[in-house]
Amino acid sequence: MNRLLTVAVAGCGNRGQHTYSRMLMDMQDKVKIVAAADLDPSKLAGIRQLCGLTEEQCYASAEEMLSRPKLADLMLICTPDSCHYAHAKAALLKDYHLLLEKPISPTAEECRELAALAEERERHVAVCHVLRYTPFYQKIRQLLDEGLCGEVITVQGIEQVGYWHYAHSFVRGNWRREDESSCMLLAKCCHDMDILLWLLGKKCVQVSSLGSLRHFRPENAPAGAAARCTDCTVKDCPFNAVNYYVNRYRRTGDSWPQNVVAFEPTEEKLMHALRHGPYGRCVYHSDNDVVDHQVVLMELEDGTTVDFTMSGFTANNARHLRVMGTRGEIVADMNAMTIEATHFGSPTEVIDVKKLAEDLSGHGGGDRRLVREYIDFLRGDCPMTTTMTSIGRSVESHLVAFAAEVSRKAGGVPVKL
Ligand SMILES: NC(=O)c1ccc[n+]([C@@H]2O[C@H](COP(=O)([O-])OP(=O)(O)OC[C@H]3O[C@@H](n4cnc5c(N)ncnc54)[C@H](O)[C@@H]3O)[C@@H](O)[C@H]2O)c1
């Protein structure tokens, strides 16, 4: 493509603006952002300034932007989970290619419908399964493809959400309630379901799952806990929002998650948000209902088994993976960014992922690589890769998550896919 690929941004929050639009502004030889929409005027003002948009190029909602004739080649759908289906469907009907934030939709029917619509309209939809694009998982996939483990027999995965990240997003934040976003497994772990299936290249045929919201409930509040951290005198609570957001702001400045709590934060804005907004709520007195721990057992088509744990009770927020096969084992730690690869009978090789790539920021380097690869693909500068695949493959991870949730709610009964 000789001309610039044009982009419209639906939802200008953390992902749409702070992540993807900032990255696209580093690629101005290839792309141009020509339209943006958000309900929040301050977010619109932010992206307008970031991308040099005119007032006419900014829309008060994605719906308004989508009511206009097609404005760009590609639309980024970065609105909240519950909006993805409607916005993606309207955009596909207008013949946009899509960079679609996960989850595709909170229901299996809508996921399948969007996959079919993309095929019918011959549009590309890249679902933001960013982990596939990380040097960490790409290296593991390479080792498996090279046969290091022989035939994979069983896999163990853990998604350590991190106690502070869990409290931020899943007790106080946008993903705390199933009716407002989706179940925890879909919201947080559709990445894990996707990466496990992508690494192994197999389909899942059966799942069962157990888990609950065990801790973050009113009956577990320490004696004397106030409804808001700004009024609380309980000592040593690890979930104290003033300690977490304001003290962290002093160390890290305007970065995630402070910029979620207050747009372009200052200490004053953060304190105001904690006194009046959702992020100042006591973790034991919020209106959350998603699980704080969940275990999923998967059986793949060739008999490979996978056990996966999601936990909100971890010090780190990083994934661990152990792949066990007939000829070798891989033990991978995304916190340490190391991969221990053992071909049985040979010494263990410890791979330092930090040496494989310069930039591991933004989901282990996945955010930036996804954007670059997709833009290059849409411009015709590179072919579709096995990393990118199709929305049809992305839907599979969602179907596993839906089936696991059915199992969990039925007390762990096996569910066939
Ligand atoms: N791929 C990943 O790893 C990853 C990571 C974080 C979030 N996400 C997903 O990205 C999406 C966005 O998350 P976020 O953290 O940026 O949230 P956010 O709240 O920061 O941004 C969402 C924005 O959408 C706007 N919005 C809501 N309704 C709208 C409408 N009708 N029209 C236009 N704008 C509207 C909101 O005002 C907000 O600014 C979510 O679906 C989330 O699950 C994906």
Task: Express each pLDDT in 265-280 by its tens digit.
Answer: 999 999 999 999 999 9
Band (386; pLDDT cuts 50, 70, 90)? confident
- pLDDT at position 9 over 80: yes
The mean pLDDT of 64-82, rounded to a whole number, is 97
Q: In 10 A of CB 52, how many CB atoms?
A: 11
Q: What is the pLDDT of residue 287?
A: 97
Torsion region of 220: left, alpha or beta (phi above 0 gives left; psi -120 to 50 gives alpha): alpha
pLDDT digits (tens, 9 = 90+) for 30-71: 999 999 999 999 999 999 999 999 999 999 999 999 999 999
Q: Is 362 in contact with 368 (CB distance < 8 Å)?
A: yes
pLDDT of residue 385: 85
Q: Cβ–Cβ contacts within 10 Å for residue 171, how many?
A: 26
Residue 410's pLDDT band (cuts 50, 70, 90): very high
**Is the pLDDT confidence value at 397 over 80?**
yes
> CB-hemisphere CA count at 13 Å for 320?
16
Q: Are 49 and 21 in contact (CB under 8 A)?
A: no
Residue 254 predicted with pLDDT over 80: no
Per-residue pLDDT, averaged over 108-119, amounts to 97
Confidence check: pLDDT of 106 > 80? yes
Q: From ligand 1's centre to the CA of 145, what distance in Å? A: 35
Please tell me if the CB atom of residue 319 comes closer than 6 angstroms to any atom of ligand 1.
no
Give 298-344 pLDDT, tens digit per residue: 999 999 999 999 999 999 999 999 999 999 999 999 999 999 999 99
CA angle 19, 99, 174 (to 5 degrees): 55
Cα angle 312, 166, 271 (rounded to 5 degrees) comes to 150
User: What share of the chain in percent tops pLDDT 70?
Assistant: 100
- Cβ–Cβ under 8 Å, residues 191 and 102: yes
Band of residue 238 on the pLDDT scale cut at 50, 70, 90:
very high
Q: State the average pLDDT over residues 208-227.
A: 97
- Per residue in 160-176, pLDDT (tens digit) is 999 999 999 999 999 99
Residue 405 to residue 415: CA distance in whole angstroms: 10
Q: What is the mean pLDDT of residues 345-353?
A: 98
3-state helix, strand, coil in the chain (%, to 5): 40, 20, 35
Average pLDDT, the chain: 95
Atom of ligand 1 nearest to the CA of 174: 19
Query: In the beta sheet, which residues pair with residue 75?
Result: 8, 98
Ligand 1 pocket, residue 38 CB under 6 Å = yes
Cα-to-centroid distance, 13 and ligand 1 (Å): 6
Tokens coding 202: 């197999």
List helix spans (H) across 216-281: 241, 248-252, 258-261, 267-276
Please, which residues have CB within 8 angstroms of residue 202's CB and are 6 or more apart in sequence? Answer: 300, 301, 302, 304
Distance between CA atoms of residues 91 and 112, nearest Å: 16
For a mutational test of ligand 1's pocket, the pick from 14, 42, 172, i.e. the residue with the most ligand atoms closer than 8 A to its C-beta, is: 14
Asked if pLDDT for residue 384 goes beyond 90, the answer is no
Ligand 1 close to Cβ of residue 79 (< 6 A):
yes
Question: Starting at the edge strand that comes first in sequence, how are the strands of the sheet with 415-416 ordered?
Answer: 349-352, 338-343, 328-333, 319-325, 152-160, 305-311, 293-300, 204-212, 415-416
Which of 61, 78, 159 best tests ligand 1's pocket when mutated (most atoms within 8 Å of CB)? 78
Count of beta carbons in the 10 Å neighbourhood of residue 25: 14
Query: Would you say residue 143 has pLDDT above 80?
Result: yes
* pTM exceeding 0.95: no
Q: Is the CB of 97 under 6 A from ligand 1?
A: no
Res 255 pLDDT > 90 = no
Return d(Cα 222, Cα 160) in angstroms, integer.
24
Domains of the chain: 5-127 (3.40.50.720), 132-216+289-358+390-416 (3.30.360.10), 220-280 (no CATH)
